[in-house]
Chains A and B, each alone.
Chain A
């Protein structure tokens, strides 16, 4: 599902955020990505949905090199990935419902199907009663769940989330993780960035650890085979 082949990445400022990163996550797996602040976790996610491009090596998603996608293919890749941003990136000029519905409109879904699916998805994250509220009036945990609903409403095969429990108390953090567990059980591949190691241990899912733009620890299952 996700393969990083010796990927390095340099920001325009010249800062080398990633250096020789290699790993492979199989379809339907659930991984955590951990590391100190500035380790390069967000940079890895950005490479996956191609907000950034590698300066060396190759990023393959679903067998395709994301760097070689045409302008027509790129939107299709992005629609297949549900991204939950660290800062949510919700739109505060519209309701919770419209935030979630936008993802379906963007994906060109049949307008007749949007209403039902948006409500079902909001229900599944426990926000059915907040449909017509502006997300600005919601708590951090609630906004996080709007972001999750928006990222999953199109039922993407891959969901990546950047510190989804970062600003939440332990209890809310657990509930958020359980939402991802549910998605995972439905077959969705999940990659969660976090620095909460307790939460990782608790969940029992494998994790990849990063230090200064390099992977320092990962389970064998995530190692990139030489021949692949």
Chain B
């Protein structure tokens, strides 16, 4: 055991001079006794090998490995992330649109004014009867009779500077009407009541805010359906794209995976970085989507406010709710996870 010409160390692998076998092998355990300098290293003897301690920071180091791959990684990682971001942005935009439409629907319900237009022939007695009949319905509030004169006054108010147009009228053409508010905000009930009152003797027509609300609700329903189908298709596509990216990584790392397997890597040691890689892509995609959706929101809010002010109304769009933001993040993570698991189950046999 003399030093060899090329400087090969003659020291034992343990870092100390080789000792006789007798001193190294413990008869009882069969575990090789090591010089003190390497005692801390867990020996992997066959009999003593049952104590696998996965280090506490295992998850952290897996994440680190995944990030390193991602960071140094191919263009496909970033392409995938951008695709996730764009898809989730479409989802976010739909959510924003539907959520605002819903809010609009609810807000208008708050002023549930119903106007019952009476026939010209109606006597004041009949008018009182109709008014009483309406009052008997639950939830009816602030019921009042609007005379043609009051109605004309309102109309003039509404027309403002153009009110002069009405001065030429010889006779007031407006009918008597009964106005009331309904506390119950379900438009099913509003619509039923309006229909019922419309069939009464002496009633010409019934109008209520809910008529447009109903149409809006129908539009929202359609949009929600289209949005759901579109989202489902997009998310499926995204999961497949992620799984494809992970598949490419798995193939690129086949040698490493094989070596690690033969060195005794556990399933989770090999799989966890790939899973983190997928989740990272999903997460970064979701963050990108939130940024894009926020930009969209600012743009749309500015545009609608301008549009609203042209019509003399104040429209303010609200941003995504807290839970909607969380949903987008969760979707991103879920997609990354699903994509990684799909490709791991298909392309990594351990």
CB proximity to B under 8 Å, residues A11-58:
27-28, 49, 51
Q: Which residue from B13, B40, B61, B264 sits with its C-beta under 8 Å from A113?
A: B40
User: What are the residues of chain A within 8 A of B15 when measuring CB–CB?
Assistant: 120, 123-124
User: What are the residues of chain A within 8 A of B147 when measuring CB–CB?
Assistant: none
User: What are the residues of chain B within 8 A of A78 when measuring CB–CB?
Assistant: 261-264
B302 close to chain A: CB less than 8 A: no
User: What are the residues of chain B within 8 A of A110 when measuring CB–CB?
Assistant: 40, 42, 53, 55
Q: Do B13 and A182 have beta carbons less than 8 Å apart?
A: yes
User: What are the residues of chain A within 8 A of B55 when measuring CB–CB?
Assistant: 108-111
Q: Which residue from B4, B18, B47, B267 sits with its C-beta under 8 Å from A175?
A: B4
User: What are the residues of chain A within 8 A of B262 when measuring CB–CB?
Assistant: 49, 51, 78, 83, 89
Q: Which residue from B13, B42, B261 sits with its C-beta under 8 Å from A107?
A: B42
A59 close to chain B: CB less than 8 A: no
B21 close to chain A: CB less than 8 A: yes
Q: Which residue from B11, B52, B258, B260 sits with its C-beta under 8 Å from A102?
A: B260
User: What are the residues of chain B within 8 A of A64 when measuring CB–CB?
Assistant: 46
CB-defined interface of B89-101 with A at 8 Å, one 1/0 digit per residue? Answer: 0000000000000
Q: Do A106 and B269 have beta carbons less than 8 Å apart?
A: yes
Q: Do B21 and A187 have beta carbons less than 8 Å apart?
A: yes
Chain A interface residue number, banded: 35 or more
B14 close to chain A: CB less than 8 A: yes
- 14 new A-B contacts, CB < 8 A, other than A63-B46, A76-B52, A124-B15, are A62-B47, A76-B44, A77-B46, A77-B264, A89-B255, A89-B259, A91-B255, A106-B260, A109-B55, A123-B15, A126-B8, A154-B41, A155-B44, A178-B4
20 pairs, A vs B, C-beta closer than 8 Å: A61-B46, A62-B46, A71-B267, A72-B266, A76-B50, A91-B259, A102-B259, A102-B263, A106-B263, A106-B265, A107-B263, A110-B55, A124-B12, A154-B44, A182-B10, A183-B13, A185-B18, A186-B18, A187-B24, A188-B32
* A-B pairs with lowest CB-CB distance, top 7: A62-B46, A79-B264, A78-B264, A157-B45, A126-B8, A187-B24, A75-B264
